[in-house]
Amino acid sequence: MAPVPKHILNGFRVLDLTHVLAGPTASRLMAEMGAEVIKVEFPPLGDISRALPCIKNGRSSYYVQQNRGKHSVCIDLKSPDGKAVLTDLIRQCDVLVENFAPGVIGRLGFGWEQVHAINPRIVMCSISALGQAGELASLPGFDYIAQAYSGVMGMIGDPDGAPSFPMVSLGDVSTGAHAAAAIGFALLHRERGGEAQYLDISLLDCYTHYHELNIALYSMTDGAVEPTRCGSQHFAVCPLGLFKGRDGYVCIIALQPQWPALCRAIGRPDLIEDPRFATNEARVAHKEALIDLLQDWLTAQPSDDAALAALQAERVPCAPVLRISQLANHPHMRGRGTIRTVSDAKLGDVLMPGMPLRFSGFVHNPPLDALHLGASNEQVLREVLGYAPERIAALTEQGVLFANPDT
């Protein structure tokens, strides 16, 4: 593996006991920022995301996306020798991240108290669906489970039918970013002489935190108002919604300051002062008429691009609802590295999302490699732990260390 890129977290070493998504996102963000990340996996399969689509030449693009830039050390943690290796690794790291179900890491012998005793300087971050403690903590945790409990799922979809869930891992990926944030602040505190922290980060807390208005609105009205989902048109702002264009869907928003601009953009300056539409309240009261009017205008345009250009010329907030193909190939996304090409030894070139944090003094989206299961066993045990080659060979022989080059 190439050395870590010159970046903002150079000099920090992260022990990564995570799998699938939220945890690996947190440690991968740190790898992208130049931390030395040592991912610990378990025989015989390693992180189960190594089996998730798409697989090519034995390698999973799902795994690659979240594990570039990390060492892979594969240890049998059921053996005392395996536990001893992990204990030695804990001594040499600044951060430990894990996202087992709550309680599991403690039963393995590496809960916060044990880890803190092994290395009083290490920052430990546990990531879970519903939190480390409390009556829901022990439930099986998936992104959608936390989304449902957070009230976010209930705010999405047709008001007269079932909620719709997003086909994108809002909860896991975002919670990984929150965990990285907490780790960064804890390292800053430690750097200034403060004590090492234990961090309890959950999808539930992150999702619930997104309610910028709903909970306070319910509370301020003593329950008289209970916000809920409203499909593809906002219930209290008009126009704010999705319209069917000739090529796809288009999002159009006009708050009061944009209303005259929207009327001009659609060639209907006469509507600016029309009493049916003069205020947001009036527009909501005549919502159906206004939505029909905008829909008819959009349908009559030669293309969505032409419609969007007309709206944008008047600075009306609007956007095409991009499909994945359009997103992946959009010049703004490609030009900025919001979408980047990852070059992998087994997958070839694959498009993936770019790094969301951008620092002026460092390269954005540095190239990083993903590794096969156990690829770093020898290097890490020799260079980080100072084990002799014979000892590493013996651990490999005993099956305490494991590798699979076909991953």
**Which positions are catalytic?**
234
In whole angstroms, give the CA distance from residue 229 to residue 46: 40
Whole-number minimum distance, CB 6 to its own copies, in Å?
11
Residue of 249, 236, 260, 244 lying closest to 319 (CA atoms): 249
Contact, 15 vs 38, CB < 8 A? Answer: yes
Binding positions for its own copies, 56-95, rule CB under 8 A: 56, 61-62, 64-66
Whole-number minimum distance, CB 124 to its own copies, in Å?
9
DSSP-assigned states of every residue in 146-161: HHHHTTSGGGSB-TTS
Q: Which residues pair with 38 in a beta bridge?
A: 15, 71
Stretch that binds its own copies, among 71-79, 103-111, 181-189, 279-287 (CB under 8 A): 181-189
Binding positions for its own copies, 135-164, rule CB under 8 A: 135-136, 139-142, 144-158, 161-164
Stretch that binds its own copies, among 47-55, 90-98, 272-280, 393-401 (CB under 8 A): 47-55
Using DSSP, state whether 55 is helix, strand or coil: strand
Contact, 46 vs 407, CB < 8 A? Answer: yes
Residue 197 lies near its own copies (rule: CB under 8 A): yes
The site that binds its own copies (CB under 8 A) totals a number of residues, namely 146
Whole-number minimum distance, CB 148 to its own copies, in Å?
4
In whole angstroms, give the CA distance from residue 33 to residue 353: 15
Binding positions for its own copies, 4-33, rule CB under 8 A: 8-9, 11, 21, 33
Query: For residue 154, which phi and psi values (nearest 5 degrees)?
Result: -70, -15
Q: Which of 253, 285, 293, 385 binds its own copies (CB under 8 A)?
A: 253
Binding positions for its own copies, 333-362, rule CB under 8 A: 333, 335-336, 338-339, 347, 350-362
Q: State which residue, 164 or 299, has the beta carbon closest to its own copies.
A: 164
Q: State which residue, 177 or 385, has the beta carbon closest to its own copies.
A: 177
Query: Taking the CB of residue 166, how many other CB atoms lie within 10 A of it?
Result: 13
Stretch that binds its own copies, among 36-44, 267-275, 317-325, 395-403 (CB under 8 A): 317-325
Q: State which residue, 276 or 323, has the beta carbon closest to its own copies.
A: 323
DSSP-assigned states of every residue in 74-96: EB-TTSHHHHHHHHHHHHT-SEE
Q: State which residue, 163 or 286, has the beta carbon closest to its own copies.
A: 163
DSSP-assigned states of every residue in 96-112: EEE-SSTTHHHHTT-SH
Residue 186 lies near its own copies (rule: CB under 8 A): yes
In whole angstroms, give the CA distance from residue 191 to residue 203: 28
Residue 201 lies near its own copies (rule: CB under 8 A): yes
Q: State which residue, 214 or 407, has the beta carbon closest to its own copies.
A: 214
Residue 266 lies near its own copies (rule: CB under 8 A): no
- Which single residue is written with the structure tokens 């490699």? 369
